[in-house]
Amino acid sequence: MKFDKWTVGLATAGVVSLGSAAVADESPVNTLLSGTTLSGYVDTSMIYKPGVQSAAYRFANTAPDTWNGFNFNVVDLTIQKALDEDKWSAGYRADLWFGPQAAGLPGAFGANGTLGDNFGVKQAYVALRAPVGNGLDFKVGQIDTIIGYEVLDSYANPTFSRSLGFNIEPFSHTGMTATYQVAEWLSVVGGVADSAFNGTNQKETYNGQNNDGTITSNGGSGNGTLTYMGAVTLKAPESWGSLAGAALYGGIVSNGRSGYTYTDGDFGMGIQENSLNYYVGVSVPTPIKEITVGAAWDYLSDGNGDGTWATAVAGYVSWQISEKLKLNTRAEWAKSDYNAWAIGPALGATTVAPSYTGDFIYTGPTELFAVTATLDYALWANVITRLEVVWDHDLNGSDIFSSQYAVDGESEDYSVVNGRNNSVLLAANIIYKF
């Protein structure tokens, strides 16, 4: 008798016996596992950082603690039962991360000390379909953000390093989204989630100021403020010839905040503003079938709840040189009125000026230009092998690539060491997908 891979795997683990499976093809175990798939990847890298200067922070996979050596980045394990064609279809998905980069996830477990920094939940949601019109698809749980040209999974991006725009977007939400395919060329998605995005089960707390200046808190429970999001995708139909498949995407995420925030010292009370993410992205094939182009625009207002802002524009060109070789390029411009891309000690910076003590305190404004070139060569089956160079350039002399530290803890008095306007990073990335 022939058994499916799940039955064989469970038998190997001692959960079921092949004998019992032979007489009970419709056992509860077989029924529960029907349609479930297991996939994932192992992500590794080697990074060389010339000189001692800093760099623009993009994501954990190119942070300072990865420079000048070898890195095991993450193991991704995805367990999924996708929606089928039934009118009342149901499924689920769980993306689990194991390894150092799991600490950067909103669903990382190190924050509460349970399983340490080497485990995190990227996504974990229940998928549902309701027979409304063409079918209304829901996701409920921990969900990837609905905006962005690039994603958390490195292999799915054209480059190993993330874009500057990626770093000012939310990573994920705890909440619910609903997607509807209006027509072949038009789809819409909307959602609602906990207010504090980039966290799991994090609600916006309320802290109010009394008449006597004291603070009244609700003890950390949610104040009822929520995040609202929506996006629209337009896709060119087959009748558009060489432009068929071109896509235009626009989305907004409103991270609702209310009440007051309190800080010690002279800053006192301040009203938290509602942060907003705006995103527009486009992907277009060209008459030359080996070349595709894309672009993305991000704008973040009140990212810190205090009136700050940041924006980034990126252009992408991918050239399939041969069956196995591809060249991906990315050019970026970004600007902010605060330290949106600065690296601090928590991200691995080291003190190069022993006569100064305190925290890294660069606060902007910042204006950057960056170019990334990535050679992707498919030499082995199921393996992604990439070589990449990233060049960041400081356009306004902000010294973001310098080592800056407060003197005696005073943020208005600091020293700039090794001031530079350019930063270069070289990376090799090897990923096995299973």
Q: Is residue 1 part of a domain?
A: no
- Ranges 95-104, 277-286, 311-320: which has the least confidence: 95-104
Q: What share of the chain is helix, strand, coil (3-state, %, to 5)?
A: 10, 50, 40
Q: Is residue 76 part of a domain?
A: yes
- Quick: pLDDT tens for 280-310: 999 999 989 899 999 999 999 987 666 789 9
Cα-Cα-Cα-Cα torsion 277, 229, 157, 196, nearest 10 degrees, comes to: 70
Spell out the alpha helix ranges (H) of 56-113. none
Q: Is residue 340 part of a domain?
A: yes
**Contacts of residue 433, Cβ cutoff 8 Å, sequence gap at least 6:** 39, 40, 41, 155, 382, 383, 384
- Quick: pLDDT tens for 224-282: 788 999 999 999 988 887 788 899 999 999 987 644 444 444 334 444 567 899 999 99
In terms of average pLDDT, the best of 47-56, 226-235, 419-428 is: 226-235
Largest separation between any pair of C-alpha atoms in the chain: 79
- Ranges 22-26, 119-123, 145-149: which has the least confidence: 22-26
Structure-token pair, residue 390: 């990233």
Number of domains in the chain: 1
Answer left, alpha or beta for residue 409, where phi above 0 means left and psi between -120 and 50 means alpha.
left
**Contacts of residue 402, Cβ cutoff 8 Å, sequence gap at least 6:** 53, 54, 362, 416, 417, 418, 419, 420
Provide the residue range defining the domain that includes 256.
Answer: 42-433
DSSP string covering 302-366, please? STTSSS-EEEEEEEEEEEE-SSSEEEEEEEEEEEESS-TT---GGGT---S-TT--S-B-----E
Hey, what amino acid is at 55? A
Across the chain, mean pLDDT equals 79
Q: Is residue 54 part of a domain?
A: yes
State the CATH number of the domain containing residue 159: 2.40.160.10
Q: Is residue 2 part of a domain?
A: no
* Neighbour tally for 316: CB within 10 Å: 24
Q: Is the pLDDT of residue 82 over 70?
A: yes
Q: Is residue 205 part of a domain?
A: yes
Q: Is residue 9 part of a domain?
A: no
In whole angstroms, give the CA distance from residue 164 to residue 370.
Answer: 9
Q: Is residue 121 part of a domain?
A: yes
Q: Is 96 helix (H, G, I), strand (E, B) or coil?
A: strand
